[in-house]
Amino acid sequence: MKANSMTRKLTLAAVFSATFFLATNAFASDSKAHDEHAEEKIMQVEKAPFGDAKAGKAKVATCAACHGSDGNSTNPEWPSIAGQHPEYTYEQLKMIKEGTRSAPLMAGQLNNKNDKDLKDIAAYFAELEGKSGEASADTFTLGQSIYRGGNTETGVPSCAACHGPSGKGNPMSLYPDIAGQQTGYILKSLNDYASGKRTGTAQQKVMKEVAALMSDAEKEAVASYIRGL
Ligand code: HEC
Ligand code: HEC
């Protein structure tokens, strides 16, 4: 997960400029006031960050022990959270706090955090730079083939279709950035989706279906491949 807030802003700006372009063309004969209104909207979107990253920094002292001082975990079993889309991080934090997603090691961590705190924390980690690792050479070919093309025989879809060719995900659809994520954590997540242990949102339905179709060898290979993205 590389620093992506700039890319995100640019993407948002691009989407909204496109909308603006279409809007101005469609209403070419409309008044100038319409154009100004659209422009104002663009400004608002660019100026409205998800949370306050600076305020978030003061609320994360206890997280470093497991997620690393820069949001990159050094334990293969624990997730890196640096560079993640804030929308996704916020959703997960809400679920963990409410207990709809089980994360025993995080017990108590979010007890005194309110909704704004969770947004600020999510914004803070989104600004940090995610680091990658090395994919295992032994399983690289299988991992890459699953990631890019899935398994047409068993119906496993391409991971890239949702998480993107380089693993960056898609914030608008709450598809997480998984590039460079820790191998053991990815494997555990896939197994937890498949067994139904990982619960929480309607969004997870798709991952449950995907993971349930995968063989152990495929899960291991793709987890290692993603670590190298
Ligand atoms: C004692 C270790 C520990 C501490 C301290 C801790 N976490 Fe976690 N956290 C974990 C583990 C382990 C998981 C993965 C749970 C699972 O297996 O699904 C996790 C999961 C998460 C996730 C979900 C990641 C994802 O990709 O879905 C987020 C976000 C998160 N933690 C944020 C935080 C924040 C913010 C703090 C500090 C307020 C914190 N954690 C403190 C161990 C910890
Ligand atoms: C149709 C879209 C879609 C496809 C295809 C897909 N994913 Fe996902 N993936 C998601 C969504 C949505 C989530 C977030 C679910 C949640 O909230 O827990 C997710 C979550 C994950 C996570 C957990 C990330 C974290 O930080 O905890 C991993 C790992 C993952 N996907 C791996 C894969 C792999 C490997 C494949 C290919 C075999 C794949 N995904 C295919 C949509 C998809």
8 A C-beta contact, residue 223 and residue 183:
yes
Q: Which atom of ligand 1 is nearest to the CA of 65?
A: 5
Is 45's C-beta closer than 6 angstroms to any atom of ligand 1? no
Q: Does some domain include residue 133? A: no
Is 79's C-beta closer than 6 angstroms to any atom of ligand 2? yes
Q: Out of 77, 207, 226, 227, give the residue to mutate to test ligand 2, the one with the largest number of ligand atoms within 8 Å of its CB.
A: 207
In angstroms, the CA 186 to CA 210 distance is: 13
The whole-number average pLDDT for the span 19-28 is: 37
Residue 18 and residue 95 in one domain: no
Q: Out of 67, 87, 127, give the residue to mutate to test ligand 1, the one with the largest number of ligand atoms within 8 Å of its CB.
A: 67
Is 81's C-beta closer than 6 angstroms to any atom of ligand 1? yes
Instruction: State the residue range of the domain holding 203.
Output: 140-227
The pLDDT tens digits for 86-112 are: 999 999 999 999 999 999 999 899 999
* Whether the predicted pLDDT of 7 surpasses 90: no
In angstroms, the CA 120 to CA 125 distance is: 9
* Whether the predicted pLDDT of 22 surpasses 80: no
Residue 69 identity (one-letter amino acid): S
17 falls in which pLDDT band (50, 70, 90)?
Answer: very low
Is 3's C-beta closer than 6 angstroms to any atom of ligand 2? no
Q: How far is the CA of 203 from the centre of ligand 2 (A)?
A: 9
Q: Does some domain include residue 60? A: yes
What CATH code is carried by the domain that includes residue 157? 1.10.760.10
In angstroms, the CA 93 to CA 52 distance is: 16
Residue 187 and residue 208 in one domain: yes
The pLDDT tens digits for 31-48 are: 444 455 544 444 444 546
What pLDDT is attached to residue 1? 60
Q: Does some domain include residue 9? A: yes
Average pLDDT, the chain: 85
Residue 30 and residue 84 in one domain: no
Q: How far is the CA of 161 from the centre of ligand 2 (A)?
A: 10
8 A C-beta contact, residue 86 and residue 120:
no
Give percent of the chain with pLDDT exceeding 90: 74
Weakest mean pLDDT among 12-26, 90-104, 126-140, 168-182: 12-26
Weakest mean pLDDT among 77-91, 126-140, 197-211: 197-211
Residues in the chain, how many? 229
For the chain, what is the domain count?
Answer: 3
Nearest 5 degrees, angle CA 113-CA 116-CA 122? 85
Q: How far is the CA of 124 from the centre of ligand 1 (A)?
A: 14
